[in-house]
Amino acid sequence: METILYQVADNIATITLNRPETLNAFSDQMIDETTSALKQAGRDEAVRCVMITGNGRAFSSGQDLADVTARAGSFSIGDHLRHGYNQLITTMIALEKPIIGAINGVAAGAGCGVALAADLRIASDRASFMLAFSKVGLIPDSGVNWLLPRLVGYARAYEMAITADKIPAARAYEWGMVNRVVPHDQVWETAVAWATSLAAGPTLAYGLTKRIMHKTWDMSLPEALAYEAYLQEVAGRSADNKEGVRAFLEKRAAHFTGK
Ligand code: T3D
């Protein structure tokens, strides 16, 4: 990996976007490496929580605009999305382990899309979110049109898209885009503390919860209830369910294995 750092320790995989000279703009290589790292975290049984952050003062400034100018006239942005960002966002949503975004600075354009595709966001009080797409004459992509209105509602999402205004962390919290805002120097330790706690949790149940919460958006109530019964059957057969019940009855902390 040349554009990101990938590290696994204490059941937590950490992905650090690492092109600080461009505010961690996404080159094709960084899109591919981030996607590969997420897939690797998904396959690795030792990984029970994933963290994603940016090196330097930004989370990510989105698509590398210097690369855009080097494109041939026949270049297809649609294909670029299909083969790049769409794979990245789909991998994040399909990864059945919690992903924490430690949002250390500005998250713009596709960088905002990646931040929103994390399951939980802890933002530095210096962070901001910006749908920079319209500034370069584009529509939002990288899942933003699906993710953002669900978090903040259509009017706020549309406003962010057409103004490209920077939404500071405090307002993002008020709008429901982030779970916590902490002083800048505490963002990393807060994210690690949360990840450590999640990595000791019932990983299978966390993963199935992520799956069902995404799937039920498009379901009727009867379909959602049926799907709950189906997945609860799976969770109910897990070692963690047995351990959780036993631990409650024995009045002790549960020791979950994630299985
Ligand atoms: O094309 C497709 O495939 C479709 C996909 C599109 C997805 C998208 O993400 S479209 C949106 C692309 N992103 C942007 O339009 C954001 C561009 N950046 C900015 O607006 C600003 O940089 C920020 C608001 C993010 C931060 O502003 P500021 O003032 O804190 O920093 P800065 O001075 O603008 O940037 C610092 C350096 O990073 C600077 O380089 P230099 O002058 O120090 O050598 C700047 O050029 C570089 N940089 C920032 N963003 C990008 C970038 N370099 C390449 N690509 C960038 N996106």
Any idea which residue has 């919860």 for tokens?
A: 209
Domain extent listing, the chain = 4-199, 203-249
Q: Which atom of ligand 1 is nearest to the CA of 66?
A: 54
CATH number for domain 4-199, candidates 3.90.380.10, 3.90.226.10, 3.90.1150.10, 3.40.50.2000: 3.90.226.10
As a whole number, mean pLDDT of residues 31-50 equals 98
pTM of model > 0.95: yes
Cα–Cα distance list, 144 to 98, 106, 181, 224 (Å):
19, 16, 21, 24
Ligand 1, atom 23, residue with closest C-alpha: 61
Determine whether 237 is exposed, middle or buried from the number of CB atoms within 10 Å of its CB (0-12, 13-18, 19+). exposed
The rounded distance, in Å, linking the Cα atoms of 126 and 143 is: 24
Q: Give the residue whose CA is nearest to atom 21 of ligand 1.
A: 61
- At 99 the pLDDT is 98
The predicted pLDDT at position 90 comes to 98
CA of 34 to the centre of ligand 1 (A): 19
Per-residue pLDDT band for 40 (boundaries 50, 70, 90) equals very high
CA distance 69 to 78: 16
Indicate the fold that domain 203-249 takes in CATH: Lyase 2-enoyl-coa Hydratase; Chain  A, domain 2 (1.10.12)
Ligand 1 centroid to residue 138 C-alpha, Å: 14
7 exposure class (CB count in 10 Å sphere: 0-12, 13-18, 19+): exposed
CB neighbours of 164 closer than 8 A, spacing ≥ 6? Answer: 130, 131, 132, 133, 134, 135
